[in-house]
Amino acid sequence: SIEDLAQLIWDLKAINPNAKVSVKLVSEMGVGTIAAGVAKGLADVIHVSGASGGTGASPLSSIKNAGLPFEIGLAETHQVLLANGLRTRVTVRADGGLATGRDVVMATMLGADEVSFGTSAMIAEGCIMARVCHKNTCPVGVATQDPELRKKFTGTPEDVIRFMVAIAEDVREILAGLGFRSLDEVVGHPEYLEQVVHGREAGFLDLSPLLFVPDTGTARRNVLPRNEVVPLDLSLSDRITEQVLAALQANPDAPVHLAHKINNTDRTVGARVSGQLALRYGDAGLPDGQVRIEFEGTAGQSFGAFAIGGLALHLWGTANDYVGKGLGGGEIVLRPSEDARFVPHQSVILGNTALYGATAGKLLAAGVAGERFAVRNSGATAVIEGAGEHCCEYMTGGCVVVLGETGRNFGAGMTGGQGFVYDVNETFERRYNKELIAISRLTGDAYEQYL
């Protein structure tokens, strides 16, 4: 959903305030509405991709039938952004079969600040469009790991450079013929285009919707750095980061203990300090438990996202969705508040999609998790007291221990890692996905010691 995408963009900018986030959209009818939502979600670049490009590894049905020409989606995106006062806040990029300077100028006039080249650049260095990229049998050695086939590759960086220089020269000549000195002068000005009919069938096409631009009296292109337009409200995260860095600077070897109140408007807490620690100490972070931060209250979305090694986040309360997203070695502990009036193993303590894409670290929760717990987990360890549907979906590594019931479809697409379920009611056998995983009772002392 747009809301989930906006949260992801928020998360990325929380851990890296200098990040420029690009969102790629397929060219189709209605893409303008989606683009407006993406712009409001604080994206920096909206990339409209047309139907003419595409990797040779795609299914034939996708190559032939997916998407529309980039001109249709690009024009609609530009028009909707302009009409909603969002055009100056994002950079619009287009691709999809661009191969000439004429393509570049036309895309620019329809609203593109930037254009991308994929297939044509590949051809410039030797690709013959054999459409076998996924088979490791590329006859010219472009898309293969076979040493013998790779010897056939004769392309050089200079081939691509010459191609791009030729494109630039073509663009320069077209602009000069129109009386312009730069692409900036024609961005979002389709009035310089007109429909030319070639053939009887083409006469039935009305391309005027592509050439319409609402006159809002504002700039028709990106003119503002996106990150400076709507600064993120990360007051709690910023305070934590300042306190942790100051303490480590004063005594690098001493443990750091902090305590804060938290509420559901405090999103992505833990990401900003993790990003700063990674810049200073590398991806491995600090020794285990050197920085411990205790919270009391209800955490917002993405609590503990991207938490780095050495960072321990302990929450007395509850948390929303995406707890531990991209967990990278940190520790997250959730417990009910001391005045809670519910039974922990019967109540939900964290939301959906926790540990999404986690690679390392621990999550311990005295309570039940929502749906899609540990989706795409590839290395983190977790202990919870129950889970909703689709637990361990697409999991490739790590270990999940569920001390209670699970929902349906446990382990769908799971290709690695381990899952342990305390099946006290003997319902699990009817609820797990049998496509890729098998289940068995624990036997021997080895597993008991492991747990």
First to last CA, the chain: 37
Lookup result for tokens 């699970």: 406
Q: Give yes or no: residues 199 and 267 share one domain.
A: no
**Position 95, amino acid:** D
Would residue 299 count as lying in a domain? yes
- Spell out the residues 6+ positions from residue 266 whose beta carbon is closer than 8 angstroms to its own: 236, 237, 299, 300
* Top-confidence residue, 447 or 41: 41
Q: What's the pLDDT tens digit per position in 293-305?
A: 999 999 999 999 9
Highest mean pLDDT among 53-57, 224-228, 252-256, 380-384: 380-384
Q: Which of 222, 246, 276 is the last residue of a domain?
A: 222
154-158, 214-218, 264-268: least confidently modelled range = 214-218
pTM of the entire structure? 0.86
Q: Give yes or no: residues 202 and 256 share one domain.
A: no
Going from the C-alpha of 316 to that of each of 69, 298, 340, 427, the distances in angstroms are 52, 8, 10, 31
Give the whole-angstrom CA distance, residue 314 versus residue 331: 8
Q: What's the pLDDT tens digit per position in 3-33?
A: 889 999 999 999 998 889 999 998 888 999 9
What was the pLDDT predicted at 225? 67
Q: Which of 222, 247, 264 is the last residue of a domain?
A: 222
Q: What's the pLDDT tens digit per position in 157-214?
A: 999 999 999 999 999 999 999 999 999 999 989 988 888 877 777 667 888 888 888 8
Q: What's the pLDDT tens digit per position in 110-129?
A: 999 999 998 888 899 888 88
Would residue 138 count as lying in a domain? no
Q: Give yes or no: residues 376 and 424 share one domain.
A: yes
The chain-wide mean pLDDT, for the chain, equals 89
Give the whole-angstrom CA distance, residue 199 versus residue 197: 6
Lookup result for tokens 């349906």: 408
Q: Sorting pLDDT into bands at 50, 70 and 90, what band is 424? A: confident
Q: Give yes or no: residues 40 and 67 share one domain.
A: yes
Q: Residues 269, 262: contact at Cβ < 8 Å? A: yes
Would residue 142 count as lying in a domain? no
Q: Give yes or no: residues 161 and 304 share one domain.
A: no
Q: What's the pLDDT tens digit per position in 412-423?
A: 999 999 999 998
Would residue 149 count as lying in a domain? no
Q: Give yes or no: residues 405 and 431 share one domain.
A: yes
Q: Give yes or no: residues 25 and 162 share one domain.
A: yes
Would residue 341 count as lying in a domain? yes
Q: Which of 222, 244, 272 is the last residue of a domain?
A: 222
Q: What's the pLDDT tens digit per position in 324-370?
A: 999 999 999 999 988 878 787 888 999 999 999 999 999 999 999 99
Mean pLDDT to the nearest integer, 259-274: 93
User: How many domains does one find in the chain?
Assistant: 2
What was the pLDDT predicted at 232? 66
What SS3 string covers the chain? CHHHHHHHHHHHHHHCCCCCCEEEEECCCCHHHHHHHHHHCCCCEEEEECCCCCCCCCCHHHHHHCCCCHHHHHHHHHHHHHHCCCHHHCEEEEECCCCCHHHHHHHHHCCCCEECCCHHHHHHCCCCCCCCHHHCCCCCCCCCCCHHHHCCCCCCHHHHHHHHHHHHHHHHHHHHHHCCCCHHHCCCCHHHCCCCCCCCHHHHCCCHHHHCCCCCCCCCCCCCCHHHHCCCCCHHHHHHHHHHHHHHHHCCCCCEEEEEEECCCCCCCCHHHHHHHHHHHCCCCCCCCCEEEEEEEEECCCCCCCCECCEEEEEEEEECCCCCCCCEEEEEEEECCCCCCCCHHHCEEECCCCCCCCCEEEEEECCEECCCCCCCCEEEEEEECCCCCCCCCCCEEEEEEECCCCCCCECCCCCEEEEEECCCCCCHHHCECCCCCCCCCCCCHHHHHHC
Q: Residue 164 belongs to what domain range?
A: 2-124+156-222
Question: Does the pLDDT at position 227 exceed 90?
Answer: no
Q: Give yes or no: residues 208 and 257 share one domain.
A: no
Give the number of other Cβ atoms within 10 Å of residue 198's Cβ. Answer: 7
Q: Give yes or no: residues 186 and 242 share one domain.
A: no
Q: Give yes or no: residues 169 and 278 share one domain.
A: no
Give the number of other Cβ atoms within 10 Å of residue 179's Cβ. Answer: 8
Q: Give yes or no: residues 246 and 214 share one domain.
A: no
Q: Give yes or no: residues 243 and 301 share one domain.
A: yes
* CATH number of the domain residue 162 falls in: 3.20.20.70
Would residue 151 count as lying in a domain? no
